[in-house]
Amino acid sequence: MQKILAIAWKDAIIRFSSPSEWLFFIVLPIVFTFIFAGGVPTGDEDNRIRLVVVDQANTTISQEIIRELENSTSVRPDVLSLEEAEEQFDAREATAVLVIPAGLDMQAIQNGTAQLDFRQPPNNLDASIAERAVDTAIRRVSSVVSAANMAVDEAKARGTFESAEDEQAYFAQALELAKSLQADSPERVTVVQGNTPDDFDYDPQANVSAGQLITWVFIPLFGISALFAYERQQGTLRRILTTPTSKATFLLGTISGQVVMALIQMTLLVLFAYFAFKLNWGNPLGVYIILICSALAAASIGTAMGTFIKSEGQAVGLSIMAGMLMGMLGGCWYPLELFPSFMQTIAQIFPTYWSMQGLLDLLLRGAGVAEILPEAGVLILFAGVFFSIGVWRFRYE
Protein backbone atom coordinates (compact mmCIF):
# COMPACT_ATOMS: atom_id res chain seq x y z
CA MET A 1 0.00 0.00 0.00
CA GLN A 2 2.81 2.32 0.94
CA LYS A 3 4.48 1.55 -2.36
CA ILE A 4 1.35 2.47 -4.25
CA LEU A 5 1.18 5.77 -2.38
CA ALA A 6 4.84 6.48 -2.99
CA ILE A 7 4.48 5.85 -6.72
CA ALA A 8 1.36 8.02 -6.90
CA TRP A 9 3.09 10.86 -5.05
CA LYS A 10 6.13 10.65 -7.32
CA ASP A 11 3.87 10.92 -10.38
CA ALA A 12 2.12 13.96 -8.95
CA ILE A 13 5.48 15.65 -8.46
CA ILE A 14 6.59 14.81 -12.00
CA ARG A 15 3.34 16.02 -13.47
CA PHE A 16 3.21 19.34 -11.65
CA SER A 17 6.92 20.05 -11.98
CA SER A 18 5.97 22.46 -14.75
CA PRO A 19 3.67 25.30 -13.67
CA SER A 20 2.03 25.21 -17.09
CA GLU A 21 0.39 21.92 -16.06
CA TRP A 22 -2.09 24.06 -14.11
CA LEU A 23 -3.11 25.56 -17.41
CA PHE A 24 -4.36 22.18 -18.60
CA PHE A 25 -5.51 21.02 -15.21
CA ILE A 26 -7.98 23.76 -14.52
CA VAL A 27 -7.55 26.98 -16.54
CA LEU A 28 -8.22 25.68 -20.06
CA PRO A 29 -11.14 23.44 -19.08
CA ILE A 30 -12.83 26.41 -17.43
CA VAL A 31 -12.15 28.72 -20.38
CA PHE A 32 -13.52 26.12 -22.79
CA THR A 33 -16.58 25.41 -20.67
CA PHE A 34 -17.31 29.09 -20.44
CA ILE A 35 -16.98 29.86 -24.14
CA PHE A 36 -18.60 26.64 -25.36
CA ALA A 37 -21.61 27.17 -23.09
CA GLY A 38 -22.40 30.35 -24.96
CA GLY A 39 -21.91 29.13 -28.48
CA VAL A 40 -22.93 25.53 -29.09
CA PRO A 41 -25.94 25.18 -31.36
CA THR A 42 -28.91 23.96 -29.39
CA GLY A 43 -31.29 23.33 -32.26
CA ASP A 44 -33.50 26.06 -30.78
CA GLU A 45 -32.01 28.95 -32.72
CA ASP A 46 -33.91 31.09 -35.16
CA ASN A 47 -33.60 28.77 -38.14
CA ARG A 48 -35.25 31.07 -40.62
CA ILE A 49 -33.25 32.10 -43.67
CA ARG A 50 -31.49 35.41 -43.14
CA LEU A 51 -32.60 38.16 -45.48
CA VAL A 52 -30.56 41.34 -45.46
CA VAL A 53 -32.81 44.40 -45.73
CA VAL A 54 -31.65 47.92 -46.53
CA ASP A 55 -34.23 50.52 -45.55
CA GLN A 56 -33.41 53.78 -47.32
CA ALA A 57 -37.00 54.98 -47.23
CA ASN A 58 -37.60 54.83 -43.52
CA THR A 59 -41.31 55.49 -43.94
CA THR A 60 -44.33 53.87 -42.30
CA ILE A 61 -44.66 51.70 -45.38
CA SER A 62 -41.06 50.50 -45.29
CA GLN A 63 -41.36 49.77 -41.59
CA GLU A 64 -44.58 47.86 -42.22
CA ILE A 65 -42.80 45.74 -44.82
CA ILE A 66 -40.02 44.94 -42.35
CA ARG A 67 -42.58 44.11 -39.69
CA GLU A 68 -44.35 41.75 -42.07
CA LEU A 69 -41.02 40.09 -42.87
CA GLU A 70 -40.38 39.62 -39.17
CA ASN A 71 -43.66 37.73 -38.96
CA SER A 72 -42.58 35.43 -41.77
CA THR A 73 -42.00 31.81 -40.90
CA SER A 74 -39.34 31.35 -43.58
CA VAL A 75 -37.06 34.39 -43.40
CA ARG A 76 -35.75 36.69 -40.74
CA PRO A 77 -34.93 40.25 -41.81
CA ASP A 78 -31.60 41.69 -40.77
CA VAL A 79 -31.56 45.45 -41.38
CA LEU A 80 -28.17 46.77 -42.47
CA SER A 81 -26.76 49.79 -44.28
CA LEU A 82 -26.43 49.56 -48.06
CA GLU A 83 -22.65 49.42 -47.77
CA GLU A 84 -22.66 46.56 -45.27
CA ALA A 85 -25.29 44.72 -47.26
CA GLU A 86 -23.35 44.97 -50.52
CA GLU A 87 -20.17 43.89 -48.80
CA GLN A 88 -21.87 40.85 -47.33
CA PHE A 89 -23.59 40.01 -50.58
CA ASP A 90 -20.31 40.20 -52.50
CA ALA A 91 -18.58 38.08 -49.88
CA ARG A 92 -21.40 35.49 -50.14
CA GLU A 93 -22.25 36.06 -46.50
CA ALA A 94 -25.72 37.26 -47.39
CA THR A 95 -27.81 35.06 -49.67
CA ALA A 96 -30.25 37.73 -50.68
CA VAL A 97 -30.63 41.48 -50.19
CA LEU A 98 -33.82 43.54 -50.27
CA VAL A 99 -33.31 47.25 -50.85
CA ILE A 100 -36.21 49.57 -50.01
CA PRO A 101 -35.24 52.76 -51.90
CA ALA A 102 -35.89 56.26 -50.57
CA GLY A 103 -39.29 57.66 -51.37
CA LEU A 104 -41.35 54.54 -50.86
CA ASP A 105 -44.60 55.82 -49.39
CA MET A 106 -48.35 55.56 -49.83
CA GLN A 107 -48.29 58.12 -52.64
CA ALA A 108 -45.76 56.11 -54.62
CA ILE A 109 -47.78 52.92 -54.21
CA GLN A 110 -50.93 54.73 -55.38
CA ASN A 111 -49.11 56.08 -58.45
CA GLY A 112 -47.73 52.68 -59.22
CA THR A 113 -44.16 53.97 -59.04
CA ALA A 114 -43.22 52.12 -55.86
CA GLN A 115 -40.36 49.76 -56.46
CA LEU A 116 -38.14 47.51 -54.37
CA ASP A 117 -34.87 45.90 -55.39
CA PHE A 118 -34.15 42.30 -54.65
CA ARG A 119 -30.68 40.91 -55.30
CA GLN A 120 -29.93 37.23 -55.41
CA PRO A 121 -27.36 34.79 -56.74
CA PRO A 122 -28.47 32.51 -59.59
CA ASN A 123 -30.03 29.10 -58.91
CA ASN A 124 -30.26 29.58 -55.20
CA LEU A 125 -33.13 27.94 -53.37
CA ASP A 126 -32.71 30.04 -50.21
CA ALA A 127 -32.93 33.20 -52.29
CA SER A 128 -36.12 32.06 -54.01
CA ILE A 129 -37.64 31.26 -50.62
CA ALA A 130 -36.72 34.78 -49.52
CA GLU A 131 -38.20 36.30 -52.68
CA ARG A 132 -41.47 34.52 -52.01
CA ALA A 133 -41.52 35.86 -48.46
CA VAL A 134 -40.88 39.39 -49.70
CA ASP A 135 -43.69 39.03 -52.21
CA THR A 136 -46.07 38.00 -49.43
CA ALA A 137 -44.95 40.87 -47.21
CA ILE A 138 -45.40 43.57 -49.84
CA ARG A 139 -48.72 42.07 -50.87
CA ARG A 140 -49.97 42.37 -47.31
CA VAL A 141 -48.75 45.94 -47.04
CA SER A 142 -50.02 47.11 -50.41
CA SER A 143 -53.24 45.15 -50.80
CA VAL A 144 -55.35 47.99 -49.39
CA VAL A 145 -53.97 50.33 -52.06
CA SER A 146 -54.51 47.67 -54.71
CA ALA A 147 -58.10 47.34 -53.54
CA ALA A 148 -58.68 51.10 -53.68
CA ASN A 149 -57.04 51.32 -57.11
CA MET A 150 -59.25 48.52 -58.32
CA ALA A 151 -62.33 50.26 -56.97
CA VAL A 152 -61.38 53.43 -58.88
CA ASP A 153 -60.72 51.47 -62.09
CA GLU A 154 -64.04 49.67 -61.89
CA ALA A 155 -65.83 52.95 -61.18
CA LYS A 156 -64.19 54.54 -64.22
CA ALA A 157 -65.33 51.62 -66.33
CA ARG A 158 -68.87 52.61 -65.38
CA GLY A 159 -68.64 56.34 -66.10
CA THR A 160 -66.03 59.05 -65.62
CA PHE A 161 -65.44 61.12 -62.50
CA GLU A 162 -66.49 64.73 -62.60
CA SER A 163 -63.13 66.02 -61.44
CA ALA A 164 -59.72 64.88 -60.28
CA GLU A 165 -60.71 65.81 -56.72
CA ASP A 166 -63.76 63.63 -57.09
CA GLU A 167 -61.62 60.70 -58.14
CA GLN A 168 -59.20 61.30 -55.27
CA ALA A 169 -62.08 61.41 -52.79
CA TYR A 170 -63.42 58.13 -54.20
CA PHE A 171 -59.96 56.60 -53.81
CA ALA A 172 -59.60 57.87 -50.25
CA GLN A 173 -62.96 56.44 -49.29
CA ALA A 174 -62.14 53.08 -50.85
CA LEU A 175 -58.79 53.03 -49.09
CA GLU A 176 -60.40 53.61 -45.70
CA LEU A 177 -62.90 50.85 -46.39
CA ALA A 178 -60.17 48.45 -47.49
CA LYS A 179 -58.16 49.22 -44.36
CA SER A 180 -61.07 48.50 -42.08
CA LEU A 181 -61.81 45.30 -44.01
CA GLN A 182 -58.19 44.24 -43.68
CA ALA A 183 -58.21 44.93 -39.97
CA ASP A 184 -61.14 42.53 -39.66
CA SER A 185 -59.65 39.89 -41.97
CA PRO A 186 -60.65 36.48 -40.74
CA GLU A 187 -57.88 34.07 -39.76
CA ARG A 188 -57.91 31.40 -42.44
CA VAL A 189 -55.39 29.04 -40.98
CA THR A 190 -55.05 27.25 -37.67
CA VAL A 191 -51.58 26.16 -36.72
CA VAL A 192 -51.36 22.91 -34.76
CA GLN A 193 -48.05 21.63 -33.43
CA GLY A 194 -47.63 17.96 -34.13
CA ASN A 195 -46.53 15.43 -31.54
CA THR A 196 -43.32 14.46 -33.28
CA PRO A 197 -40.98 13.15 -30.61
CA ASP A 198 -38.34 15.84 -30.72
CA ASP A 199 -37.74 17.72 -27.58
CA PHE A 200 -34.55 16.12 -26.48
CA ASP A 201 -33.31 17.28 -23.14
CA TYR A 202 -30.76 19.93 -23.73
CA ASP A 203 -29.36 22.56 -21.48
CA PRO A 204 -26.27 24.20 -22.97
CA GLN A 205 -24.60 24.78 -19.63
CA ALA A 206 -25.24 21.26 -18.36
CA ASN A 207 -24.18 19.60 -21.63
CA VAL A 208 -21.09 21.74 -22.03
CA SER A 209 -20.00 21.46 -18.40
CA ALA A 210 -20.29 17.68 -18.49
CA GLY A 211 -18.78 17.36 -21.97
CA GLN A 212 -15.77 19.58 -21.33
CA LEU A 213 -15.15 17.95 -17.97
CA ILE A 214 -15.00 14.55 -19.61
CA THR A 215 -12.79 15.69 -22.49
CA TRP A 216 -10.30 17.46 -20.25
CA VAL A 217 -10.07 14.57 -17.82
CA PHE A 218 -9.71 11.93 -20.51
CA ILE A 219 -6.83 13.70 -22.28
CA PRO A 220 -4.43 13.80 -19.27
CA LEU A 221 -5.43 10.28 -18.23
CA PHE A 222 -4.56 9.02 -21.70
CA GLY A 223 -1.35 10.91 -21.01
CA ILE A 224 -0.39 8.22 -18.50
CA SER A 225 1.16 6.65 -21.58
CA ALA A 226 3.52 9.63 -21.73
CA LEU A 227 4.48 9.04 -18.10
CA PHE A 228 5.54 5.48 -18.95
CA ALA A 229 7.39 6.60 -22.04
CA TYR A 230 9.17 9.28 -20.02
CA GLU A 231 10.28 6.84 -17.32
CA ARG A 232 11.27 4.29 -19.89
CA GLN A 233 13.37 6.89 -21.70
CA GLN A 234 14.97 8.07 -18.47
CA GLY A 235 15.65 4.47 -17.48
CA THR A 236 13.91 4.92 -14.13
CA LEU A 237 11.37 2.26 -15.02
CA ARG A 238 14.18 -0.26 -15.30
CA ARG A 239 15.47 0.86 -11.95
CA ILE A 240 12.12 0.12 -10.31
CA LEU A 241 12.52 -3.42 -11.61
CA THR A 242 15.44 -3.87 -9.23
CA THR A 243 13.13 -3.19 -6.27
CA PRO A 244 10.67 -5.84 -5.04
CA THR A 245 7.75 -4.22 -6.85
CA SER A 246 5.40 -6.22 -9.05
CA LYS A 247 4.05 -5.01 -12.39
CA ALA A 248 0.54 -4.83 -10.99
CA THR A 249 1.65 -2.78 -7.96
CA PHE A 250 3.53 -0.36 -10.17
CA LEU A 251 0.62 0.03 -12.60
CA LEU A 252 -1.90 0.31 -9.77
CA GLY A 253 0.23 2.99 -8.13
CA THR A 254 0.50 4.97 -11.34
CA ILE A 255 -3.16 4.62 -12.20
CA SER A 256 -4.52 5.35 -8.75
CA GLY A 257 -2.34 8.41 -8.43
CA GLN A 258 -3.58 9.80 -11.73
CA VAL A 259 -7.18 8.85 -10.96
CA VAL A 260 -7.04 10.71 -7.65
CA MET A 261 -5.64 13.75 -9.43
CA ALA A 262 -8.38 13.47 -12.05
CA LEU A 263 -10.95 13.33 -9.27
CA ILE A 264 -9.55 16.51 -7.74
CA GLN A 265 -9.65 18.13 -11.17
CA MET A 266 -13.22 16.97 -11.76
CA THR A 267 -14.30 18.19 -8.34
CA LEU A 268 -12.91 21.63 -9.16
CA LEU A 269 -14.76 21.67 -12.48
CA VAL A 270 -17.98 20.44 -10.88
CA LEU A 271 -17.70 23.22 -8.31
CA PHE A 272 -16.96 25.76 -11.03
CA ALA A 273 -20.13 24.86 -12.93
CA TYR A 274 -22.06 24.83 -9.66
CA PHE A 275 -20.99 28.35 -8.74
CA ALA A 276 -20.70 29.94 -12.18
CA PHE A 277 -23.82 28.46 -13.80
CA LYS A 278 -25.73 27.48 -10.65
CA LEU A 279 -25.76 24.02 -12.19
CA ASN A 280 -27.45 21.31 -10.18
CA TRP A 281 -25.46 18.16 -10.82
CA GLY A 282 -28.09 15.87 -9.28
CA ASN A 283 -27.41 12.95 -7.00
CA PRO A 284 -23.84 13.50 -5.66
CA LEU A 285 -23.19 9.79 -5.08
CA GLY A 286 -24.26 9.05 -8.63
CA VAL A 287 -22.02 11.84 -9.97
CA TYR A 288 -19.00 10.41 -8.18
CA ILE A 289 -19.75 6.87 -9.29
CA ILE A 290 -19.74 8.04 -12.90
CA LEU A 291 -16.67 10.23 -12.41
CA ILE A 292 -14.65 7.46 -10.72
CA CYS A 293 -15.65 4.87 -13.32
CA SER A 294 -14.84 7.31 -16.14
CA ALA A 295 -11.44 8.09 -14.65
CA LEU A 296 -10.67 4.39 -14.24
CA ALA A 297 -11.66 3.64 -17.82
CA ALA A 298 -9.59 6.52 -19.20
CA ALA A 299 -6.57 5.68 -17.02
CA SER A 300 -6.68 2.04 -18.13
CA ILE A 301 -6.80 3.08 -21.77
CA GLY A 302 -3.82 5.35 -21.11
CA THR A 303 -1.98 2.42 -19.53
CA ALA A 304 -2.70 0.18 -22.47
CA MET A 305 -1.55 2.94 -24.85
CA GLY A 306 1.63 3.27 -22.81
CA THR A 307 2.63 -0.31 -23.55
CA PHE A 308 3.13 0.25 -27.25
CA ILE A 309 4.10 3.91 -27.52
CA LYS A 310 7.80 4.52 -27.88
CA SER A 311 8.47 8.19 -27.16
CA GLU A 312 6.98 10.78 -24.86
CA GLY A 313 6.28 13.03 -27.82
CA GLN A 314 4.24 10.33 -29.53
CA ALA A 315 2.35 9.67 -26.32
CA VAL A 316 1.43 13.33 -25.87
CA GLY A 317 0.30 13.61 -29.48
CA LEU A 318 -1.68 10.42 -29.40
CA SER A 319 -3.42 11.20 -26.12
CA ILE A 320 -4.50 14.64 -27.36
CA MET A 321 -5.71 13.13 -30.62
CA ALA A 322 -7.53 10.22 -28.99
CA GLY A 323 -9.02 12.46 -26.29
CA MET A 324 -10.36 15.01 -28.75
CA LEU A 325 -11.70 12.42 -31.18
CA MET A 326 -13.42 10.40 -28.47
CA GLY A 327 -14.80 13.57 -26.90
CA MET A 328 -16.20 14.74 -30.21
CA LEU A 329 -17.55 11.39 -31.40
CA GLY A 330 -18.90 10.46 -27.95
CA GLY A 331 -21.16 13.50 -27.91
CA CYS A 332 -19.19 15.62 -25.43
CA TRP A 333 -18.81 18.61 -27.73
CA TYR A 334 -22.06 18.77 -29.65
CA PRO A 335 -25.37 17.27 -28.59
CA LEU A 336 -25.54 13.63 -29.64
CA GLU A 337 -29.15 14.11 -30.69
CA LEU A 338 -27.99 16.25 -33.61
CA PHE A 339 -25.80 13.42 -34.96
CA PRO A 340 -27.01 11.26 -37.86
CA SER A 341 -28.57 8.11 -36.48
CA PHE A 342 -25.74 5.77 -37.50
CA MET A 343 -23.23 8.01 -35.72
CA GLN A 344 -25.40 7.87 -32.60
CA THR A 345 -24.97 4.11 -32.71
CA ILE A 346 -21.23 4.22 -33.39
CA ALA A 347 -20.78 6.69 -30.52
CA GLN A 348 -21.48 3.84 -28.10
CA ILE A 349 -18.10 2.24 -28.72
CA PHE A 350 -16.42 5.18 -26.97
CA PRO A 351 -16.17 5.37 -23.17
CA THR A 352 -16.80 9.12 -23.45
CA TYR A 353 -20.32 8.31 -24.64
CA TRP A 354 -21.11 6.35 -21.47
CA SER A 355 -19.60 8.98 -19.19
CA MET A 356 -21.59 11.67 -20.94
CA GLN A 357 -24.86 9.71 -20.82
CA GLY A 358 -24.32 8.95 -17.14
CA LEU A 359 -23.77 12.59 -16.26
CA LEU A 360 -26.67 13.75 -18.43
CA ASP A 361 -28.99 11.21 -16.78
CA LEU A 362 -28.09 12.81 -13.46
CA LEU A 363 -28.06 16.41 -14.67
CA LEU A 364 -31.09 16.55 -16.91
CA ARG A 365 -33.20 13.50 -16.25
CA GLY A 366 -32.96 13.49 -12.45
CA ALA A 367 -31.72 9.92 -12.39
CA GLY A 368 -30.84 8.18 -9.14
CA VAL A 369 -27.92 5.89 -8.40
CA ALA A 370 -29.74 2.81 -9.70
CA GLU A 371 -30.40 4.36 -13.13
CA ILE A 372 -26.76 5.21 -13.81
CA LEU A 373 -25.42 1.79 -12.88
CA PRO A 374 -25.60 0.49 -16.49
CA GLU A 375 -23.35 3.33 -17.70
CA ALA A 376 -21.03 2.82 -14.73
CA GLY A 377 -20.91 -0.90 -15.54
CA VAL A 378 -19.89 -0.30 -19.14
CA LEU A 379 -17.16 2.08 -17.98
CA ILE A 380 -15.84 -0.49 -15.50
CA LEU A 381 -15.85 -3.04 -18.31
CA PHE A 382 -13.69 -0.68 -20.38
CA ALA A 383 -11.40 -0.24 -17.38
CA GLY A 384 -11.08 -4.01 -16.83
CA VAL A 385 -10.37 -4.86 -20.46
CA PHE A 386 -7.76 -2.18 -20.97
CA PHE A 387 -6.10 -2.69 -17.59
CA SER A 388 -5.67 -6.37 -18.44
CA ILE A 389 -4.14 -5.44 -21.79
CA GLY A 390 -1.85 -3.05 -19.92
CA VAL A 391 -0.63 -5.64 -17.42
CA TRP A 392 -0.23 -8.28 -20.08
CA ARG A 393 1.73 -6.15 -22.52
CA PHE A 394 3.66 -4.02 -20.02
CA ARG A 395 7.42 -3.89 -20.32
CA TYR A 396 9.93 -2.02 -18.25
CA GLU A 397 12.29 -1.31 -21.12
Residue 171 DSSP one-character state = H
Q: What is the largest CA-CA distance in the chain?
A: 119
Q: What is the smallest separation between the CB atom of 292 and another protein, expressed in angstroms?
A: 26
Residues 94 to 133: which contact another protein by CB under 8 A?
Answer: 95, 104, 109-110, 112, 114-126, 128-129, 131-133
How far apart, in whole angstroms, are the C-alpha atoms of residue 184 and residue 295? Answer: 65
The one among 163, 242, 341, 397 contacting another protein by CB under 8 A: 341
Amino acid at 161: F
DSSP class of residue 18 equals: S
Give the range of 3-11, 265-273, 309-317, 372-380 binding another protein by CB under 8 A: 309-317
Nearer to another protein, 28 or 381 (CB): 28
Are 56 and 29 a contacting pair, CB within 8 Å?
Answer: no
| Residue with smaller CB distance to another protein, 7 or 316 | 316
Smallest distance, another protein to C-beta of residue 154, A: 5
The rounded Cα 50 to chain-centroid distance in angstroms is 19
The reply to whether 394 sits near another protein by the rule CB under 8 A is no
In angstroms, rounded to a whole number, what is the distance separating the alpha carbons of residues 96 and 107?
A: 27
- Residues 224-283 within binding reach of another protein (CB under 8 A): none
Spatial contact of 134 and 116, defined as CB atoms under 8 Å apart: yes
Of residues 11-40, which lie at the interface with another protein (CB under 8 A)? 18, 20-21, 23-24, 27-28, 31-32, 35-36, 38-40
Task: Considering only residues 208 through 227, tell me which ones interact with another protein, judged by CB under 8 A.
Answer: none
In angstroms, give the least distance from the CB of 153 to another protein: 8
Name which position in 6, 102, 181, 241 contacts another protein (CB under 8 A): 181
Listed residue (37, 20, 376, 363) closest to 220, CA to CA? 20
How many residues belong to the site for another protein (CB under 8 A)?
A: 114
Angle between helices 224-234 and 284-306 (to 10 degrees): 40
